[in-house]
Chains A and B, each alone.
Chain A
Amino acid sequence: KAGVTQTPRYLIKTRGQQVTLSCSPISGHRSVSWYQQTPGQGLQFLFEYFSETQRNKGNFPGRFSGRQFSNSRSEMNVSTLELGDSALYLCASSFRGGVTSYNEQFFGPGTRLTVL
């Protein structure tokens, strides 16, 4: 099976711009989660989508949004970029069939966003 893919791998933007990142999960996986990783704050959960619905959301401002398509591919959008948004954005997919007692996640390589 192909792994989780994220595009683009690197991105440079300027303050005030907006950006869209894309994630394609492993085939058959219906859950996609997004994380932000910075040296100062570590890995922080942004949101999770399952069957095109946002199920969980982390503590991030409304500038951060996402969506999931019927093929489980997901995008996240950050509007009005700030310098502090510079980070590695990681996407993870998992298979969630009904009530599960585990949640192994498979991560993509990440998109490194630099805001100037």
Chain B
Amino acid sequence: SQQGEEDPQALSIQEGENATMNCSYKTSINNLQWYRQNSGRGLVHLILIRSNEREKHSGRLRVTLDTSKKSSSLLITASRAADTASYFCATLNSGYSTLTFGKGTMLLVSP
């Protein structure tokens, strides 16, 4: 069953703009991770935020986590055409050792 639900399902922006994707989940978590997938290929790990963290940065990526609202957001700043991909949030549930993925947000960045 899906734990994370991303919003929006699809996002289309111009190069240079910022892209924000949101993720909501249902149960308590150990950590939340964001992955990127290019056109039916394997997933690439982007960033991990632990349940006791509120914000994390990595290059042009900024992730926030609000455990009281059971939600997270991924911000990609100054987007590039190469950022075009599907983005998934995944939660590592407390007490478990596996990730549960949402259905993803498809991001299209036009030149």
Contact = CB atoms under 8 A, between A and B. Distances in A.
Q: Is the contact region of chain B dominated by helix, strand, or loop, or is it mixed?
A: strand
Interface string B63-105: 0000000000000000000000000100010001111111110
Contacts, number: 65
Interface residues of B, number: 25
B40 A88 contact: yes
Given A48-B97, A55-B97, A96-B97, A103 B42 contact: no
B33 interface: yes
Interface of A: 4, 31, 33, 35, 42-45, 48, 55-56, 58-59, 88, 90, 92, 96, 101-110, 112
Interface of B: 1-2, 30-31, 33, 35, 40-45, 48, 50, 88, 92, 96-104
